[in-house]
Chain A
Amino acid sequence: MPWTAALSALAASNSAACPGPEQGFVRLASAEAEIAYRWTPDELKIGQFFGVEMVACRLPGGEAVDTIVVDAQMPAHGHGMNYRPRSTRLAPDRYLVSGLMLHMAGHWRVTFDLFQGTKRTRLTHDVTLKP
């Protein structure tokens, strides 16, 4: 078995530990990667600070995540958040990000950037906030 294949086999075995809806997590996947996340508190409201707990379930190459960056933009308005979230590592491939705040109603794009060394893998999730 080539070296990289061995690593991705290892990574694939990680997804067994990927939390699901029974623990309040939502899965988000692309061709390259998969994460599970849950908001804290679980309902997003305008002007209210919130955090997100997330688990990297499947990653390209299978190396552990060094850091993750969560951010949010309003594409239609061309602006992002006024606050910089900070992430804390809870366990390997498991992070808690706090300090997010969405200050307008409408359509926000939340980005999850997973860094493995200099490699960045981005997953996005769209949120629509009611007024």
Chain B
Amino acid sequence: MKRLTAIAACLAVAGAAVAIAGSQGRNAVEPAAFSADEREAILSHGPWPPPMPPDPSNRVSGNSDAIALGRWLFSDKRLSADGARSCATCHDPAKAFTDGRDRSIGLVRVDRNAIALANLRLNRWYGWAGAADSLWAQSIRPILDPKEFAATPELVRARLAADAAIRAAYARVFAAEMSRDPPERVLVNLAKALAAYQETIVTARTPFDDFRDALARGDTATLAHYPLAAQKGLKIFVGKGRCTACHLGPNFTSGEFEDVGVPYFVEAHRVDAGRFAGIAELRRSSFSLAGPHNDDAVRADAAPTRHVEQLHRNWGEFRVPSLRNVAATAPYMHNGSLATLEDVVRHYSQVDEERLHGTEGQRLLRPLHLTREEASDLVAFLKTLSSAVVSQR
């Protein structure tokens, strides 16, 4: 009781180090103390969930009939040319909306790891290279990709318009007759329904969120429920690990692109150019927010698309992934080359500076040389960013 009072007194002193007792020590509990800067950094990772307003570029975003149609389409194999796979093949709801493979397998093995689908309204860019600037544009990519569904707008319209239930749902959502709409419009509309559904996949609150909110309130009783190892790992995450530089904010990502030294060779003579190629694909796409299918007349969300600039350093850069639910989304990195969170932490601990492809801009990343205990604390922290539940409205 005495100790609790001491902690409360400590919390009351603005700017003073905050001592938090963990509940997991065997004997006397060693408190993880946070400086004012650390505290500010920790608070910046919440609150959760943040607001996720409807997507202005998608007129059926948030529409319940569109969500129902999108949910159906998400596991509809008729979208693939050979009828063998659906979105759910690689984004399996039972596997946190990923597939558990290093690189996904469509008609052939693709170059990248399937991204776990969640909290998608928070993205500025979609895919590891940000080749799409909206969720609906990203949803078109696998349908047309020769390595994934290998379909065409004509095929999609012909297959689905043959189904009376889909036709009726389409008419209800888009106030149009599917077989009379031009194939490209049908494809975009179906992608917008798929997007409306995917927007509903939101990760639940986690032990970290409870800790973070308790820290904001000064609620020492709740703080003590958060394991001490996680507290120490969190201190590394916001401190000497400098993880927060890139994995920032409530969704633990800047939403931008960086090179952390993951090899970008796909095969001996083929590289994944990452963001460099992503910007090129965005520029070529007729489905970008700068194009005719954006439903927002003022194109409010198109600023990134208008201003993005292709730079030489974009070679080998990949999007900073969110760390929400990260324990459930192994394997890791754009090519799934790291099997466990321990492997990821080892990567950052021993990062090979020679391997960082850029010549500049990598001063953020240096080998951390973490001790075994520090590495396991950091992993313990990362595991508190997950919760089993993925809520679907």
A residues apposed to B, CB below 8 Å: 46-47, 49, 76-79, 82-86, 98-99, 101, 103-106, 130-131
Across chains A and B, which 7 residue pairs bring their CB atoms closest together, nearest first? A99-B307, A79-B361, A83-B307, A84-B309, A131-B44, A78-B360, A103-B256
Contact between B360 and A85, CB atoms less than 8 A apart: no
Binds A, one of B9-17, B104-112, B242-250: B242-250
User: CB-CB < 8 A to B270: which residues of A?
Assistant: none
Instruction: Assign chain B's interface to a size class.
Output: 20 to 34
How far is A3 from B244 in the complex, measured between Cα atoms in Å? Answer: 56
In the complex, B276 has a CB within 8 A of chain A: no
**Extra pairs beyond A83-B304, A105-B44 (14, CB < 8 Å):** A46-B254, A47-B248, A47-B249, A79-B313, A79-B361, A82-B257, A82-B308, A82-B309, A85-B307, A103-B255, A104-B248, A105-B41, A131-B41, A131-B244
Contact between A47 and B254, CB atoms less than 8 A apart: yes
Contact between B254 and A106, CB atoms less than 8 A apart: no
Contact between B246 and A104, CB atoms less than 8 A apart: yes
How far is A83 from B246 in the complex, measured between Cα atoms in Å? Answer: 17
Contact between B256 and A86, CB atoms less than 8 A apart: no
Contact between B257 and A106, CB atoms less than 8 A apart: no
B151-174 vs A, Cβ < 8 Å mask (1 yes, 0 no)? 000000000000000000000000
Q: Which one, B41, B248, B249, B363, contacts A77 given CB within 8 A?
A: B363
Q: Which one, B245, B304, B311, contacts A104 given CB within 8 A?
A: B245
Q: Closest chain A residue to B45 by CB distance?
A: A131
Contact between A104 and B254, CB atoms less than 8 A apart: yes
User: CB-CB < 8 A to B255: which residues of A?
Assistant: 47, 103
B366 to chain A, nearest CB (A): 12
A64 to chain B, nearest CB (A): 26
User: CB-CB < 8 A to B311: which residues of A?
Assistant: 82
How far is A130 from B244 in the complex, measured between Cα atoms in Å? Answer: 11
Contact between B254 and A86, CB atoms less than 8 A apart: no
Contact between A46 and B249, CB atoms less than 8 A apart: yes
Q: Which one, A83, A98, A105, contacts B248 given CB within 8 A?
A: A105
User: CB-CB < 8 A to A85: which residues of B?
Assistant: 307
B360 to chain A, nearest CB (A): 4
B21 to chain A, nearest CB (A): 25
In the complex, B1 has a CB within 8 A of chain A: no
B5 to chain A, nearest CB (A): 30
Q: Closest chain B residue to A99 by CB distance?
A: B307
How far is A84 from B246 in the complex, measured between Cα atoms in Å? Answer: 20
Contact between B245 and A78, CB atoms less than 8 A apart: no
Contact between A99 and B306, CB atoms less than 8 A apart: yes
Q: Closest chain B residue to A75 by CB distance?
A: B363
A43 to chain B, nearest CB (A): 15
B45 to chain A, nearest CB (A): 9
B306 to chain A, nearest CB (A): 7
B302 to chain A, nearest CB (A): 10
Q: A76-B363, A78-B361, A82-B256 are in contact. Are A105 and B245 (CB under 8 A)?
A: yes
Q: Closest chain B residue to A85 by CB distance?
A: B307
User: CB-CB < 8 A to A86: which residues of B?
Assistant: 306-307
Q: Closest chain B residue to A76 by CB distance?
A: B363
Q: Closest chain A residue to B275 by CB distance?
A: A82
Q: Closest chain A residue to B320 by CB distance?
A: A103
A101 to chain B, nearest CB (A): 7
Contact between A101 and B304, CB atoms less than 8 A apart: yes
B298 to chain A, nearest CB (A): 14
User: CB-CB < 8 A to A83: which residues of B?
Assistant: 304, 307-309
A-B contact pairs, 30 of them (CB 8 A): A46-B249, A47-B124, A47-B254, A47-B255, A49-B303, A78-B360, A79-B313, A79-B361, A82-B256, A82-B257, A82-B308, A82-B309, A82-B311, A83-B304, A83-B308, A83-B309, A84-B307, A85-B307, A98-B303, A99-B303, A99-B307, A101-B304, A101-B307, A103-B255, A103-B256, A104-B246, A104-B254, A105-B248, A131-B41, A131-B249
